[in-house]
Amino acid sequence: MHNPNTPSDTPRATDSLLIDNVHVLTSTGWLRNSRVELSGGKIKAVGADVTTSIPTLDGRSGYLLPGMIDLHGDAFERDITPRAGTTFPLDLALAANDASLIANGITTFYYSITDGFEPGPRSRDTVRELLLALEALSPRFSCQARVHIRHERVNTELHEELMGWLADGRVHMLSLNDHLPELDNPAATERYLAGLRRRVTMDAAETQRFLEGLQNRRDLGDRQTGELARQARQAGVSLSSHDDHGLDDVERNRVLGTSIAEFPMDAETASASREAGVAVLMGAPNLVRGGSHVGAISVRDAITGNLVDVLCSDYHYPSLFRAPFVAAEHGLLPLEQAWKMVSENPAKAAGLGASKGQIAPGFDADLLLLSELDGSPLSLQSTLVGGRLVFRRG
């Protein structure tokens, strides 16, 4: 039986494999017409250090890149609830999601599960069901699965349960969110309600009572947030802030001990976060689309200002694959540097930098073989996770 305290990090690997006739993206740049030897799920040797002749995968002069590490993605919610009022079995939904991940080059995925204050798909009941399903199914997944709990500050019920999950190692990343709008901010309230209507059926009077009742939980939520942050740090769980706006938020995050700032809303906040030693995470869809859908800073502008460390899929997996190519096409960064924002940098930010995110001896053999460097997921020919071929096109 799967141990819920141990993340599914390494699917069963082939014994040995040589990927030959391929251009290899290393941390220091490209190795042209090179080769990579894999053994026991790890990278054994690269380039001239490969001296053995073993079963070979012909790269056909393609491109070998580190697999992508997605620290924040919630598109799997659409497989569970594709339309308001519909819910599908978790085993069916999560299997479909796993197939989508590897087909888009994501080899390590943090299931970003909202531990919210709403009834329905973002409730604690749903979190509990998802956690159990992931622990049961992750040994069968192709993509390496980790759990990212997105905790809403005013979700004050069952606080000890979440504390226990952190202590028991069932959670691998915790973000501290506050999506409850202030009722005197009509624009923020309406933006929140637009999303709520897609998830929950509630009439106007019920919605008003619901939001008013939650406002009284803010003080207790802040006290519990401090306790959760301390427990996360003690358990070695990556801790992140969310949607920060202003220097007060940055200082509060410093006191809490966060290591990642998710989606800072403006350049000042992003810059102050980086100066505080916090990795800044932004959404790949923002970069691909050319702007934020919620009025936050443009990721293109943020990269130009050297304000971004990590990109995530947020709500759209194909955008994570496309984003580094967009950065290169727009002259923001060379591709070999932009790719670090989806591989090496997220690995380091999440405490995985010693084993993931690079093509180098001793690192996990999580690899992508591309036929072209054109930014199309259709150019992804093979995905390997822990040395095992889990996706092949054609």
In 324-363, DSSP assigns E strands to: none
Confidence tier at 4 by pLDDT (50, 70, 90): very low
Residues 116 and 378: their CA atoms lie apart, in Å, by 36
Which residue in 234, 268, 230, 232 sits closest to 251, CA to CA?
268
> Comparing 59-73, 174-188, 316-330, which segment has the lowest mean pLDDT?
174-188
pLDDT, residue 90, reads: 96
Confidence tier at 240 by pLDDT (50, 70, 90): very high
% of the chain at pLDDT higher than 70:
91
Model confidence pLDDT, tens digit, residues 109-161: 999 999 988 777 789 999 999 999 999 999 999 999 999 999 999 999 999 99
Please return the burial class of 378, using the count of CB atoms within 10 Å of its CB with bins 0-12, 13-18 and 19+.
exposed
Confidence tier at 211 by pLDDT (50, 70, 90): confident
Residue 2 has pLDDT above 50, yes or no: no
> Comparing 169-178, 208-217, 271-280, 374-383, which segment has the lowest mean pLDDT?
208-217
Residues 115 and 128: their CA atoms lie apart, in Å, by 9
Residues 169 and 173: their CA atoms lie apart, in Å, by 10
> Comparing 153-157, 192-196, 321-325, which segment has the lowest mean pLDDT?
192-196
Contacts of 200 (CB under 8 A, 6+ apart): 84, 118, 119, 120
Which residue in 243, 214, 86, 81 sits closest to 150, CA to CA?
243
3-state DSSP assignment of residue 386: coil
Model confidence pLDDT, tens digit, residues 155-175: 999 999 999 999 999 999 999
Name the H helices within 149-298.
159-167, 186-199, 204-215, 218-235, 247-256, 267-275, 284-289
Residue 328 tokens read as: 């290169």
pLDDT, residue 192, reads: 66
> Comparing 62-76, 107-121, 362-376, which segment has the lowest mean pLDDT?
107-121
Which superfamily does CATH assign the domain made up of 1-67+357-394 to?
Urease, subunit C, domain 1 (2.30.40.10)
Summarize the confidence of residues 289-313 as an average pLDDT: 91
- Distance between start and end Cα atoms, the chain: 35
3-state DSSP assignment of residue 322: helix
Average pLDDT, the chain: 91
Residue 351 has pLDDT above 70, yes or no: yes
Confidence tier at 184 by pLDDT (50, 70, 90): low
Q: How far is CA 390 from the centre of its chain?
A: 20
User: Helices 159-167 and 218-235 sit at what angle, rounded to 10 degrees?
Assistant: 10
Confidence tier at 11 by pLDDT (50, 70, 90): very low
For the beta carbon of residue 84, count every other beta carbon within 10 angstroms: 12
Q: If you ran DSSP here, which 8-state letter would residue 8 be given? A: B
Contacts of 277 (CB under 8 A, 6+ apart): none
Question: Where do the domains of the chain lie?
Answer: 1-67+357-394, 68-355
pLDDT, residue 119, reads: 75
How are beta strands 16-26 and 29-39 bridged, if at all? Answer: antiparallel
- CATH (residue range 68-355): 3.20.20.140
pLDDT, residue 7, reads: 44
Q: If you ran DSSP here, which 8-state letter would residue 339 be given? A: G
